[in-house]
Chain A
Amino acid sequence: MTSEEALTWIADLFEESVEDIHPETLKEDIPAWDSLGVLTLMADLDENFGILLTEEEMLELQKVNDIFEILRRNEKLD
């Protein structure tokens, strides 16, 4: 997956326009990245990429780039 594809996936997940988010966008600036958003992100990482994270690990994520890092660590991002 390219960075652009990852950004599109994250934008869709949090119901944002892809133009409005970038790697440095903070969690607090994405309204749908709330408690339900955390679980939705967990489910998508699980179902689409086979990445299993704990809720504690999920809560450590503070910006879009942190999601990129998870994808990179799991060799899902080019």
Chain B
Amino acid sequence: MRFILVDEILEMIPGKTIRALKKISSNEEFFSDHFPGFPVVPGVLLTEMMAQTAGKCLDAEKKRQGKAMLARINSANFREWVSPDQTAIINAEIKTNREKFATAICNIEVMDKRVCSADLFFTFVPLKKFAPDYIDEVLESYLSANPLI
């Protein structure tokens, strides 16, 4: 499976807040195992959606020389099941933003109802560790459409 769990950034203030969207297709392979007859998105994937979203908000800061990577889940709560064909709205607010680490308070809403939340801790990995041609297409697409941010 691909591991891009954010389709589109809806709005963002780099290093501060972000709102993004993920449409959850009923064709996702994991639904056949999780679970037969009761397909729901695994909590670990909801957490990753929040981490990727907050990470993009941190990566959008031009001053940064490293990519934000999830290092610790300080807390996570799952309140509602998320089913196939639903659309997740993913919110993140960067709580602390330092050179070596950052923390973010995140949540996901489905049909205006909060389904989960998490407090996540990030560290930064030098960009030179990644493939030279690696780009975050979702982030670049948003930044291209919003060049003034």
Contact = CB atoms under 8 A, between A and B. Distances in A.
B96 A47 contact: yes
A47 B103 contact: yes
Interface stretch (A1-9, A20-28, A38-46, A68-76): A38-46
Nearest to A35: B123
Interface of A: 36, 39-40, 42-43, 46-47, 55
Contact of B95 (A40, A42, A47, A55): A47
Given A47-B103, A55-B100, A39 B71 contact: yes
Nearest to A52: B98
Interface string B15-32: 000000000000000000
8 contacts: A36-B123, A42-B98, A42-B100, A43-B101, A43-B121, A46-B96, A47-B96, A55-B100
Nearest to A46: B96
Q: Is the interface of B mostly helix, strand, loop or mixed?
A: strand
B72 interface: yes
Contacts of A39: 71, 100-101, 121, 123
Nearest to B103: A43
A40 B72 contact: yes
Contacts of B100: 39, 42, 55
Contact of A42 (B71, B72, B101): B101
Contacts of A47: 95-96, 103
A55 B101 CA distance: 11
Contacts of A36: 71-72, 123
Contacts of A55: 100
Contacts of A43: 96, 98, 101, 103, 121
A65 to B, nearest CB: 24
Interface string B100-123: 110100000000000000000101
B72 A46 contact: no
Nearest to B124: A39
Contacts of B103: 43, 47
Most chain B CB atoms below 10 A, which of A40, A42, A43: A43
